[in-house]
Each structure stands twice: as structure tokens, then as C-alpha cells.
Amino acid sequence: MLRNALAACAALLLVVTGASVPAAAAPRAVVGAYYGNWFSASEPISGIPSDTPITHLFYAFSTIEDGRCVVTAPTAAEDFADILDLKRRKPSLKALISIGGWGAGGFSDAALTPESRRAFVASCAELFFERHEGVFDGVDVDWEFPVYGGPTEITDRPADRRNMTHLVREFRRQLPRGSLVTAALPTGRLQTDGPYDPARSFELGALGRELDLVALMTYDMGTGFSPVSTFNAPLREVREDPMPRADRRWNNVAGAVDYYLRHGVPAHKLVLGTPFYGRGFQVRQEGPDHGLYQPYESTFWVDGVEAVERLKASPGWREYWHPVARSPWLYNAAERKFVSFEDARSIGLRARYAKQRGLRGAFMWELGQDDARHSLLTAMARPFTG
């Protein structure tokens, strides 16, 4: 009773004096970077400056062999040492091991039963948190994709949807206390099996509760699965896009965020993805809008800022801007080549959008595709770092 009386007196004092109860601190904004270990030779982790705005570094990838976590990159030991050194130079940095990626199999079998999940997660915990103690602060699950939509040669099952949730819980159970558990989840509405719905692959509401962060892959919306040349990461729905309306409304950055929020993933756990690469289409004809929304013969990859700048400097290439997609593109009329890409302007717009929607932050795929000035990273980080 004495405790209750004291609490009542304290509450009365606050009212009389006009004092306020301190608000809980807002969660730390996330400026995430995926680092592909294939860039180790040209863009080593040791080259990341101490004053980088990156808060979370995702090391890609660990894969699965015989139901166990493995890392096959020949530079892994050196990379892990560099991560430790970077964390010494920047103590606030969190490093996560990203498991999976496009083309990585083994998830469906590893997650199939309680026994297989325990063995798989135990192998990851032993490799990354015991053998390499201090390097990683969590795991990032990049299963592409449970149930359907991933590469056709990879095993998937209807049970994958539920088993993905079980797998996340098993990571939570076995990893050291305080470890982060995150996942990279898709938004592109066309995949290997045609029209794609993330809610058929993932229990989004449950994952929104279980995960610390969701790295929302708000890119790869215009790929070789698309019927026409199109944008890789349009900010908003474009009416002229010939994709069926039921899919098109979600196949853009704003629509994808709305979709995940509607399915129970909290805004404060969503981290918006920005692509640092371009996607190209060899179109059959120019069409009325400089190669946009045209049937194509083949696709190609444009590997980062420097590759885009080389195209811009080459004869025959012209740059355009779409006011709704809020994205640039390049077109070469003589060669009938269309390239969707993002620049500092468009990435800055996406990061500001994430900030305005109350999302946790933004991340990029992939750090090694930025230029030497880190112009895209700077533009992505600015709304969250001031």
C-alpha cells in the first residue's frame, strides 16, 4: 500500500509541476550494407573508413551443404579479421552473417524437421559464434524462396512457409543472448513460377514479430521474368506499365512497403532496400518512350556506378528521368539497349521516403558497386544521419 501511495503522490506531483515522463528512446536508425565476398580483392573490408555511416554490415554469403552452414570464399578468414578490425575502429557497428542468397539451395531440407533445424542452426552457431567469436552480432536469413518462386532447380515444399518461421525461432533459441536475427524478404511480383506473392512464401505477420529487422528487397522488380523492359525499383506505380493491375500495384517501392505493413510487419522493423546496380534489356524496338516498356530479346547486368558512368560517356547513350517512378534510365537507340539504374538523386528520394514512412532505415545491395566517393551510400544515409 505504501508503494501505491508513493506512486500516486509522484503522479500528482507531475500534474502540479507540469513535469513530463521521459519518453523511451527511439530505436537506432539502420544504415545497412551488404558486402559480397567476391569483392574482397578489389574492395576489401579493410578499406571501409572508420567514419562510415554504415550501422549494420551484412557479410554475404554463407551457404548450406549437407544441412550445415559453410563459407567457401577463399578470402573468408581475411574478411573476418577485417570485420573485427572495423568493429574495433567503429565499436557501434553490428556485423551479421547472411545465409543463402539467390541460387543457394538446402534451406527446405535444413528447415524440414525439428531435428534438422536444430542441427543446422547448431552448425551456424558453432562456425560463426564459437569458432569466430566476436566477429558477428547476428544472422541474416536470405532464403530465396520458401514454397515457390526461387530457382527451379532448388528444392521447395508447401511446408516451407511454416518452417521458415520455425527456423527463425530456432536461431533465436540457439544464438548467444542479444544476437540479432534478421531476414531479407522479397518484393518483386514476378519470379520463376510467374506471378509471385510473398505471403504465400512467408508467414509475414509472425516474422514481423520474431525478427529484429526485415531487409525489404525493394528492387529486382524489373528482371528477366518481366514481359517488357522496365524499372528495377520504381518508387511508385506507373499506369503505363503493362503489368496486370493486381500485381503492378505492389511491384514498386511504395506499394511493397504498404503490402508488408498490411501483412503485419511493423514499420520500425522494415529497412528499405536500394539497388546500387543496373539491369539492362536488349529491346526489339525503341517504342514511344526511349526503350521503356518494350518487348526484349535478352537481358544483361550493369555492375554498379562505374559501369553506368562508362555507358553515359559512350557514344549513342542518352539519359532520361521518369517523374512517377522517380528513376533514371539510359537508352541507346542505335543498339536498342535500355538500362534501368539508380543514382544519388533517386536513392536519396527513396531514403527520404523510408524516413517519412517511419521505417527503420535503408540498406543497399551491394557496397562494392558504389564509386570511390561512396556517393550512393552518402545519399542513402543522409536522411538518417543528418
**Spatial distance between the Cα atoms of 37 and 217, rounded to a whole number of angstroms:** 19
pLDDT for the residue numbered 175: 98
pLDDT digits (tens, 9 = 90+) for 49-65: 999 999 999 999 999 99
pLDDT at 220: 98
pTM: 0.93
On whether the CB atoms of residues 377 and 57 are closer than 8 A, the answer is no
Helix, strand, coil percent values for the chain (each to nearest 5): 35, 25, 40
The pLDDT value recorded for residue 26 is 76
What's the mean pLDDT in 133-156? Answer: 98
- The catalytic residue among 144, 203, 210, 342 is 144
Helix, strand, or coil (residue 63): strand
CA atoms within 13 A on the CB side of 150: 25
What pLDDT is attached to residue 24?
Answer: 60
pLDDT digits (tens, 9 = 90+) for 200-231: 999 999 999 999 999 999 999 999 999 999 99
Given pLDDT bands bounded at 50, 70 and 90, which one contains residue 8?
very low
Give the residue-averaged pLDDT of 174-199.
98
Q: Is the pLDDT of residue 321 over 60?
A: yes
Tell me: the pLDDT tens digits for 324-353? 999 999 999 999 999 999 999 999 999 999
Question: What number is the average pLDDT over the span 243-249?
Answer: 95
Domain limits of the chain? 28-275+343-385
Query: Are the CB atoms for 342 and 232 separated by under 8 Å?
Result: yes
Is residue 3 scored above 90 in pLDDT? no
pLDDT band at 18 (very low <50, low <70, confident <90, very high): very low
Alpha helices in 223-304 (DSSP H): 245-248, 253-262
Task: Evaluate if residue 266 carries a pLDDT over 50.
Answer: yes
Question: Integer distance in angstroms from the first to the last C-alpha of the chain?
Answer: 48
Report the distance separating Cα 193 and Cα 351, nearest Å. Answer: 31
The band of 41, judged by pLDDT with boundaries at 50, 70 and 90, is confident
pLDDT at 386: 79
Answer yes or no: is pLDDT of 7 > 80. no
All cell numbers assigned to 69 = 552452414
CATH architecture for the domain at 28-275+343-385? Alpha-Beta Barrel (3.20)
* pLDDT at residue 35 is higher than 90: yes
Q: What is the mean pLDDT of the chain?
A: 94
pLDDT at position 316 over 80: yes
Q: How confident is the model at residue 12 (pLDDT cuts 50, 70, 90)?
A: very low
What integer is the mean pLDDT of 73-84? 97
Q: Does 4 score more than 60 pLDDT?
A: no
Of 162, 176, 250, 175, nearest to 207 (Cα)? 162
Inter-residue contact 342 to 356 (CB < 8 Å) = no
pLDDT above 90 (res 306): yes
CA distance to 130, 205, 268, 355, per residue, from 362 (Å): 30, 21, 11, 9
| pLDDT more than 70, % of the chain | 94
Is residue 126 flagged as an active site residue? no
pLDDT for 176 beyond 60 = yes
100 pairs with which residues across the strands? 142
Confidence of residue 19 (pLDDT cuts 50, 70, 90): very low
Position 14 pLDDT exceeds 60:
no
